[in-house]
Structure 1
Amino acid sequence: MDYPIEIILAMVIVGQVCISVPILLSRVTTHAMNVPLALFLLASGILALNSTISLLLPTYYALYTAVAFPALFLLCPSLWFYVQGLTADTPWQLNKGQLKHYALIAPAVLISVMILFLPKDIHMAIFIHDKDIIEPFVTTLLIGILIMMLLWLMQCIYTLLKIVRRLNQYRKKLKDVFSNHDKKELNWMNWLLFITVSAWLCAAVTVFSSNLFNHALFNSNTEIVLSLLLIWCITHFGLQQKPALASLAEGATSDITHTDENPPNDHHCPTKKYQRSALDQTQSVRIASKINSAMEQDKLYLDPNLSLQALSKHLNISPNYISQTLNERLSVNFFDFVNQWRIEAAKPKILANNSTVLDIALEVGFNARSSFYKAFKQTTGQTPSEYRKG
């Protein structure tokens, strides 16, 4: 009864993968992180076809399992490298040293070769009918699969922890570089991780429950729906998302002339901290004064796309020195500093009550009503409506 639905969903997954992977690979010269994303998407698509292949093409199921097993070990490192590239300070490249993350693929391929050597009836008995076969070769194979699955689960946990930590660090860096970071925070990655964990747990629980209790806790429809959501999330957002910090680094040029507040050996990457900084107290006071003057007189905060790099070019001062001054002398990051000026500019407009909150937010440099509300409440302790009422 459920087979037609499962087949339709499987075909949708195949279609998404077949369309998205070539597009991603065509963009590799621009963003190398599209390679691991394409690998993750391809591996997810292969694994999602498990029940469909066993139902429609049982003759080729042995070949499918031999291909699908190594694909499982592409998931974690590929997802990690994609997140790493998306959150990197500079354009990301895959180097030979990083290939060690794919080390589990080698024993997985060995197990795949062993699977191909299984007689067809034994393969079907093990992988389709869940029967116990007492043979040395089969026992060795199953022990190998069990060990690899446990290693994969450990790799998943380790990778997900690394990704969460990386995303937290990235979101902190955004506040040192951009005055608005809507569509840069990668909030969709939270949903991706949730769906990924759900899909992987569902698959793992199904495997172990079917072996231990002779019945699966989740049916194949649950797995394929989660797989569809995962692949849709990857294709929808992954094809649109660009690395914010790396794009800023690519746009950085040497247009800033050398001054006493911008020494030639200063690093121009705005996300690096102040290692071996030569900034002294006198320079810091002078830079703080220039930053405030730029906001008060030139009203740079009105630009919704204002970034640390743009302010650096305007003042002809190293972005590292501006960031260091904001953090150490003014005790604020770039994001909060600019938004404080925007909130101060918004206050009289709110009290005048001649415009909507959204119009005021856009006038003073915010690019979303939600961002304005959040910043206003953080700065004043009140919502715009509460502030207007007095």
Structure 2
Amino acid sequence: MNFILGIGIGISLLAIFQLMKEKNAKLISTKIAVLINIVWIVRLAFFLIKDSEIALKFPILLMLDQNLLLLDSVVLWMYSKSLLNTAKFKVKTLLNFLPFIIGFLISVATYLSVPNELIVEQYIKMNNNISSNKSLFTIDVLVLFLVIIIISIIYFSKSIVEIKKYNSILYNHFSSLKNINANWILKFHGLWISLFLIPIILYFINYMYPIINIKILLSIMIIIQVLFSFIFNSNVLSQNYVRIPEKSNIKQDNKSIKEFEEQISKLKKTLNTNKYYQDENLSLVKLSSYLNIKPTELTEIIKCSEFENFYDLINTYRIESIKKELLSSTEQIMIIAYNNGFNSKSAFNRIFKDKIGQTPSNYRSLYKNTS
């Protein structure tokens, strides 16, 4: 098991090194990702220390590790929230660490009030009880267990809200979401709840009412932690960060329905003529500059059109252009897609099927001979 712990620590250390040398090293999102890895390194280090003589020489190390379970959901929420504001950090955010700080202070106060020899004796006794599958039920354990579960559920829920808000903003400002959306965090939270939070629940239940050897559960949790470290860091290192345009304080002029219809018509004509949608990096700000209007004005125009958002507008034009080329040429499908602004095969296939109801190849084979 020490070998697996070493792998986990190595993964996090390597990720920290990569994060700190990247161009995004100064972003708050990157710094929080580093903090997450530090939390995981400390946790895995505690597993190593508690199996060594170091813990017997410094008994306080035997009392601190469980408090780390109060941090995971908080720091993951902070990372999710930072995607909407990658440059600023508010001091009041530190209040979210209050449960961990309180738990830490309680552990320190307990350590200072109990002789070292008694702490070591109790720890050895606890290990013996674990080995013989005896119940270790105490009120302290139950309270800690409930606090960890409640905090985890609260902050995981808050993370999901932040990611959905972030993705919604992306749809209003960008035409391609490759490596900038954060759906992977939603999936990661789902994995965390099912593969880590549930074992924690089983761990504490088994702590009080032994059914299986608690050390087996602990080994499973360590393996899962290492796996999560790999999944999280592989996604974080490929994540691209974008600055979301700030909301303008300028009030829009009151316009009649006819004026909006004229602007929508002009927008459609411009896209058909100049084919700005072929730019894979086209954004709301970039298109508004082409049209010589403010981004907020373009947003209002899109809201009054049949399109859901900027993302839907641009990708609708991309798909319509691709449909024509699929029937008028023999060029490879993905080359046509790339030439019309798509930079991801999976995104193109998904959007095409959502809008047309069939795959690009099926569409070509079905309609090419009839056109």
Q: Is residue 19 of structure 1 aligned with residue 49 of structure 2?
A: no
Name the SS for the 1:103 alignment partner: helix
Q: Give the CA deviation at 1:310.
A: 0.6
Q: Deviations over 1:246-300 (max 9, x none)?
A: 2x53xx9xxxxxxxxxxxxx818xxxxxx95434125423432332232111110
| Structure 2 letter corresponding to 1:122 | Q
Distance in 2 (alpha carbons) for counterparts of 1:127 and 1:200: 23
Q: Is residue 108 of structure 1 aligned with residue 129 of structure 2?
A: no
Residues 7, 52 of structure 1: 8 Å contact kept? yes
Q: 1:173 maps to what in 2?
A: 169
| Structure 1 letter corresponding to 2:30 | N
Unmatched 5+ residue regions in structure 2? none
Q: Is residue 267 of structure 1 aligned with residue 248 of structure 2?
A: yes
Q: Is residue 206 of structure 1 aligned with residue 181 of structure 2?
A: no
Percentage identity across paired residues of the two chains: 20
Identify the match of residue 60 of structure 2 among 63, 77, 82.
63
Distance in 2 (alpha carbons) for counterparts of 1:236 and 1:71: 23
Q: Give the CA deviation at 1:170.
A: 2.0
Q: Is residue 99 of structure 1 aligned with residue 94 of structure 2?
A: yes
* TM-score, normalised relative to structure 2: 0.84
Residues 43, 71 of structure 1: 8 Å contact kept? yes
Q: Give the CA deviation at 1:381.
A: 2.3
Shifted more, 172-181 versus 24-33: the winner is 24-33
Q: Give the CA deviation at 1:366.
A: 1.1
Shifted more, 42-51 versus 231-240: the winner is 42-51
- 1:371–1:352: structure 2 CA closer, same or farther, 3 Å change rule? same
Residues 54, 61 of structure 1: 8 Å contact kept? no
Distance in 2 (alpha carbons) for counterparts of 1:85 and 1:233: 19
- 1:35–1:144: structure 2 CA closer, same or farther, 3 Å change rule? farther
Identify the match of residue 238 of structure 1 among 236, 239, 253.
236
- 1:169–1:16: structure 2 CA closer, same or farther, 3 Å change rule? same
Q: 2:271 maps to what in 1?
A: 295
Distance in 2 (alpha carbons) for counterparts of 1:71 and 1:386: 53
Residues 373, 383 of structure 1: 8 Å contact kept? yes
Residues 33, 82 of structure 1: 8 Å contact kept? yes
Name the SS for the 1:329 alignment partner: coil
The aligned runs of 1:34-49 (5 Å cut-off) are 34-49=30-45
- 1:332–1:311: structure 2 CA closer, same or farther, 3 Å change rule? same
| Structure 1 letter corresponding to 2:253 | A
Q: Is residue 368 of structure 1 aligned with residue 352 of structure 2?
A: no
- 1:64–1:379: structure 2 CA closer, same or farther, 3 Å change rule? same
Q: Give the CA deviation at 1:229.
A: 0.9
Q: Give the CA deviation at 1:61.
A: 7.5
Distance in 2 (alpha carbons) for counterparts of 1:106 and 1:36: 18
Residues 163, 186 of structure 2: 8 Å contact kept? no
Q: Is residue 323 of structure 1 aligned with residue 299 of structure 2?
A: yes
Q: Give the CA deviation at 1:115.
A: 4.2
